[in-house]
Amino acid sequence: MAEQDPIDLAARALRHRDRSRAQVAERLARAGVDDAKADDALETLERVGYVDDGRFAANRAAALAARGMGDAAIRHDLEAAGVPGEVLEEALGALAPEPERALAAAARAGRTAKTAAQLARRGFSEESIEAAVGLDVADGEAGEVE
């Protein structure tokens, strides 16, 4: 059986959606591609712009934020995708501040304990939830809600 071209394998992995360098490297490893050949293929794909962790992280972070996810959930998703720390932080920094996103979600859903719980499940910080909902998350008591 002829060995498959690592660039072709990587291109197939990128056909339907953008992926991080680590995700493409994992696909190549699962396909049995030698590490040196995989690195060469990844460098080529980065050079031509097919693999770009900065673009991947920015687009993925924006998509998750648009789906109502908080910074902790976005950070977890990007870390799981193998995005390097500095690239991850840059992607998070490009988003609207988390308290603003939490406030917008609370304005849509209502400033209730149920909304606070939903925001917590979606990875929003206690501070963002408290600011958006007027609920002391640690105590579970409602604060002043306007």
Q: Quick: pLDDT tens for 74-115.
A: 999 999 999 999 999 999 999 999 999 999 999 999 999 999
Task: Count Cβ atoms below 10 Å from residue 55 Cβ, excluding itself.
Answer: 14
Determine the pLDDT at residue 139: 54
Where does the pLDDT of residue 3 fall: very low under 50, low under 70, confident under 90, or very high at 90 and above?
Answer: low
**What's the chain's average pLDDT?**
89
Beta bridge partners of 135: 142
Determine the pLDDT at residue 18: 93
Q: CA 104, CA 51: separation in Å to the nearest integer?
A: 33
Q: CA 97, CA 75: separation in Å to the nearest integer?
A: 14
Determine the pLDDT at residue 142: 44
Do 7 and 44 touch, CB atoms closer than 8 A?
A: yes
Do 29 and 38 touch, CB atoms closer than 8 A?
A: yes
Do 103 and 111 touch, CB atoms closer than 8 A?
A: no
The amino acid occupying position 54 is G
SS3 content of the chain, % helix, strand, coil (to 5): 65, 5, 35
Do 88 and 79 touch, CB atoms closer than 8 A?
A: yes
Q: Which of 30-44, 61-75, 123-137 is modeled with the greatest confidence? A: 61-75
Determine the pLDDT at residue 146: 38
Determine the pLDDT at residue 23: 95
This prediction's pTM: 0.85
Determine the pLDDT at residue 10: 83
Do 21 and 39 touch, CB atoms closer than 8 A?
A: no
